[in-house]
Amino acid sequence: MSNTYYTRDHEYIRVDGDTGVVGVTDHAQHALGDIVYVELPEVGASFKRGDQVAVVESVKAASEVFAPVTGEVVAINGALEKEPGAVNEAPLDKGWFYKVRVADRAELDGLMDEAAYAAFLKTLA
């Protein structure tokens, strides 16, 4: 069973224990185009599910990144400050935005698994 969940706003969270790695999906980075800047949250910041946590800017537009779950930021991917294009190259690997301590695992039930997200993407075409 996959431990990666997706939002309708094209964020993902990959969960291991009580910590999740958050970023934007491959679909999102394709839609944005060449990413030139990423504004990350502060370590220690707390957010509720649906709150704006980060901003990603591309040559096309700026977009908000929303918290897929309630929690506290425990780490950020500082490498994105110098290399924001990593989001385009590998959004699920080196292009992650931040790590969050998940406050309520039950919130994951409201997110899509990989199959549901793939089906959701087909409705957008």
Task: Report the predicted TM-score, pTM, of the whole model to 2 decimal places.
Answer: 0.94
C-alpha distances in angstroms, 54 versus 42, 68, 110? 10, 12, 21
Using the predicted structure, report yes or no on whether residue 1 has a pLDDT greater than 50.
no
Q: Which residues pair with 74 in a beta bridge?
A: none
**Tokens coding 28:** 């999102």
Mean pLDDT of the chain: 95
Q: CB within 8 A of 60, min separation 6: which ones?
A: 32, 33
**Type of residue numbered 64:** E
pLDDT-derived band at 12, boundaries 50, 70, 90: very high
pLDDT-derived band at 101, boundaries 50, 70, 90: very high
Kindly report, residue by residue over 42-93, the tens digit of the pLDDT: 999 999 999 999 999 999 889 999 999 999 999 999 999 999 999 999 999 9
Kind of pairing, strands 62-66 and 71-76?
A: unpaired
**Structural domains in the chain?**
4-120 (2.40.50.100)
Using the predicted structure, report yes or no on whether residue 2 has a pLDDT greater than 90.
no
What is the rounded CA–CA span in Å between residue 71 and residue 46?
6
